[in-house]
Structure 1
Amino acid sequence: MLVYSVTLTTKPDAAPALIELAAMLVPLSRAEPGCIRYDFLQSPHTPNKFVFFELWKSRADLEEHFQKPYFKTLVEQLPALTEGEAEKVAYETEGPIPGF
């Protein structure tokens, strides 16, 4: 299993546009066969800071996700909406902890 997260900071007043893109992306991503979990989170303390938190069956499933048209739409629009570099973190794990 692959745990993957991306933390982004939007430009001033760009948060609503990112939220709209995520509203399109999240349900499509969750429907992918390799997706275990796909969440889009907004910081309660810093409203222009967001995290995509994802669990995938494998790195290959994540790579396949990157090829989807809806993901490419997000990537194309991110530079106009965000500032600074996105923080990307990936962890490989054997799988979920029972009962967790």
Structure 2
Amino acid sequence: MIILNVFFTVKPEQESNFRTLMTHLVSQSQKEPGNVHYQLAQDVFTPHHYTLIEHWKDDAAIEFHNQTEHFLSFLNQASQLFSEDVVILKYINE
């Protein structure tokens, strides 16, 4: 299994837009073949910080996800949302 943790710092004025886009992205991604877990979590200590926790069957499932309409739509709108670079950490759980 492949685990991705994606860390976002959202501009305060974009938080509502971010949550709307993420709600759609999460709901659609959870339906994909090869998806084991897909969840957004908000940091309780640091305002506007979020972590997207993704568990995928394998790299092929991630490649499929990265070509879906809902993911590409999110990417097209994402650049205006963040006050810092997005950080992605990838783990393998064997």
Read off the aligned partner of 1:93 and give its amino acid letter: N
Q: Does 1:3 align with 2:13?
A: no
Could you tell me how far apart the structure 2 residues matched to 1:26 and 1:48 are? Answer: 18
TM-score (norm 1): 0.89
Q: How many residues align?
A: 94
Q: CA deviation at 1:47?
A: 2.5
Q: Does 1:76 align with 2:66?
A: no
Percent identical: 30
TM-score (norm 2): 0.94
Gaps of 5+ in 1: 95-100
Aligned to 1:55: 55
Read off the aligned partner of 2:85 and give its amino acid letter: E
Could you tell me how far apart the structure 2 residues matched to 1:64 and 1:57 are? Answer: 11
Q: CA deviation at 1:90?
A: 0.4
Aligned to 1:98: none
Gaps of 5+ in 2: none
